[in-house]
């Protein structure tokens, strides 16, 4: 009888109770037992430098003692109350001070919820129905968000492609899709449909792809012209690209932004923030029955997440934190690119020092369709090789963080060197 490993045993149990054997996120055959600092330990006992950091929230690394202590103190006072709490108010004050667009804020539990409510809020404010989004942009799991997120079948803009079963055909009529980084195309659509568009939602840095010069500015000008709500999805970029998020880094201020990941310090927390005249639609007393946008959530603004987020943001605001984070990223970018360049392997490092990955193509990467042209086989070989050397990263991005050590950086550079060699071996045996 063949013995099973701890991972295999857990995978078998998971398949008995979970569709596809997982939570719908990362590789369902991979189980994490624990995390500390820059590293996680899998259920088979192997240790990995963690560049997934729970898909972004753990910017300080795992088990930061200051964050843990804040959570422990709150645990003694209570976990959640379904009522206002002081920590939630204080965190809202910090966020509204940091984000240029934020006069008011409303909490939810996930970034996908925040995006859904932001689009709904835009409709309530404008009285219009259509949402313009960009192909390849990720905005959660609502019906509108799952239009042309990752279409395998490319069709002519602006018609959307649903990415999931179970979405009514009627939703397609409410969504317009444009290519990211094409300011002329987006502006022409906004001019054509302007009287029907409630909101334009965009990741200012779309997955990994930075905005082309003038792109966000063009969206701001076009939405202003037509009275459309401009929504920045800053669930990933908020407090990561800069203290004030993408709107600070790129110098373009939206009407609404959505936030998540970092603001909860590893606990479930997200928010919609924006201009007072739009946010007031969450207040029935201010806008009346017809203009009211109903929102409630059992865990919204819960004190455990609020104190974790407050302490995380306090640490991030200390002197030198962003400089350290950016420095880590720049060093890792070079360590990833140099061995590939030395071996003549066509590639680009796409993203920002705080969020990036290697894309195996020699062509410019400006939008989703450019990303689809990249060599996915090479990416798979590269990612498997770095994991073999104890480096854990998602399939399509790498998150530098503040828990990384000099030993981590050296081991990661060695893993990238090894992975580049594996690509040469694969090419030779093809």
> Which residue numbers are catalytic?
138, 233, 261
Q: Which of 110, 22, 350, 196 lies closest to 361, judged by CA?
A: 350
Q: Does residue 179 contact residue 371 with C-beta atoms inside 8 Å?
A: no
Tell me how far apart the alpha carbons of residues 67 and 72 are, in angstroms, rounded to a whole number. Answer: 9
Q: Which of 245, 420, 429 lies closest to 344, judged by CA?
A: 420
Q: Which of 200, 7, 30, 226 lies closest to 119, judged by CA?
A: 200
Tell me how far apart the alpha carbons of residues 261 and 240 are, in angstroms, rounded to a whole number. Answer: 10
Name 405's Cβ contacts closer than 8 Å, sequence gap at least 6: 37, 38
Helices 303-316 and 86-98 meet at what angle, rounded to 10? 40
| Residue appearing with tokens 């645990």 | 75
Tell me how far apart the alpha carbons of residues 243 and 317 are, in angstroms, rounded to a whole number. Answer: 7
Q: If you compute the radius of gyration of the chain from its CA atoms, what whole number of angstroms results?
A: 22
Q: With H, G, I as helix, E, B as strand and everything else as coil, classify residue 356.
A: strand
Tell me how far apart the alpha carbons of residues 136 and 40 are, in angstroms, rounded to a whole number. Answer: 30
What are the Cα distances from residue 428, in Å, to 417, 421, 422, 424, 425? Answer: 17, 11, 10, 6, 5
Q: Which of 48, 45, 64, 94 lies closest to 389, judged by CA?
A: 48
């Amino acid at each position: 009888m063949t013995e099973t490993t701890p991972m295999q045993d857990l995978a078998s149990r998971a398949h008995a109770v979970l569709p596809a054997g997982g939570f719908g996120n990362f590789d369902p055959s991979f189980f994490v037992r624990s995390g500390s600092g820059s590293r996680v330990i899998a259920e088979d006992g192997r240790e990995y430098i963690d560049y997934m950091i729970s898909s972004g929230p753990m910017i300080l690394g795992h088990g930061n003692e200051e964050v843990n202590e804040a959570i422990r103190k709150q645990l003694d006072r209570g976990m959640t109350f379904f009522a206002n709490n002081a920590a939630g108010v204080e965190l809202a004050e910090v966020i509204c001070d940091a984000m240029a667009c934020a006069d008011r804020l409303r909490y939810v539990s996930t970034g996908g919820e925040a995006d859904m409510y932001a689009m709904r809020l835009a409709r309530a404010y404008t009285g219009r129905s259509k949402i313009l989004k960009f192909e390849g942009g990720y905005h959660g799991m609502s019906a509108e968000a799952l239009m042309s997120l990752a279409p395998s079948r490319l069709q002519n803009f602006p018609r959307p492609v649903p990415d999931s079963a179970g979405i009514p055909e009627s939703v397609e009529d409410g969504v317009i899709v444009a290519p990211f980084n094409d300011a002329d195309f987006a502006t022409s659509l906004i001019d054509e449909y302007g009287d029907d568009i409630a909101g334009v939602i965009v990741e200012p840095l779309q997955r990994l792809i930075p905005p082309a010069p003038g792109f966000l500015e063009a969206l701001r000008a076009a939405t202003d012209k037509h009275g459309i709500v401009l929504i920045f999805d800053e669930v990933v970029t908020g407090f990561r690209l800069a203290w004030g998020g993408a709107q600070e880094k790129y110098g373009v201020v939206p009407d609404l932004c959505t936030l998540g990941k970092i603001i909860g310090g590893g606990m479930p927390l997200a928010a919609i923030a924006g201009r007072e005249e739009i946010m007031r639609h969450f207040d029935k007393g201010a806008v009346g029955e017809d203009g009211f946008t109903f929102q409630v959530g059992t865990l919204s603004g819960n004190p455990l997440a609020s104190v974790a987020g407050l302490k995380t943001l306090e640490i991030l605001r200390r002197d030198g934190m962003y400089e350290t984070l950016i420095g880590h990223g720049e060093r890792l970018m070079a360590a990833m690119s140099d061995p590939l360049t030395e071996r003549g392997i066509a590639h680009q490092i796409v993203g920002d020092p705080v969020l990036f990955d290697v894309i195996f193509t020699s062509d410019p990467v400006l939008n989703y369709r450019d990303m689809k042209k990249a060599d996915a086989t090479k990416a798979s070989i590269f990612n498997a090789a770095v994991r073999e050397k104890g480096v854990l990263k998602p399939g399509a991005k790498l998150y530098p963080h503040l828990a990384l050590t000099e030993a981590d950086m050296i081991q990661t550079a060695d893993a990238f060197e090894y992975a580049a060699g594996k690509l040469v071996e694969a090419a030779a045996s093809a």
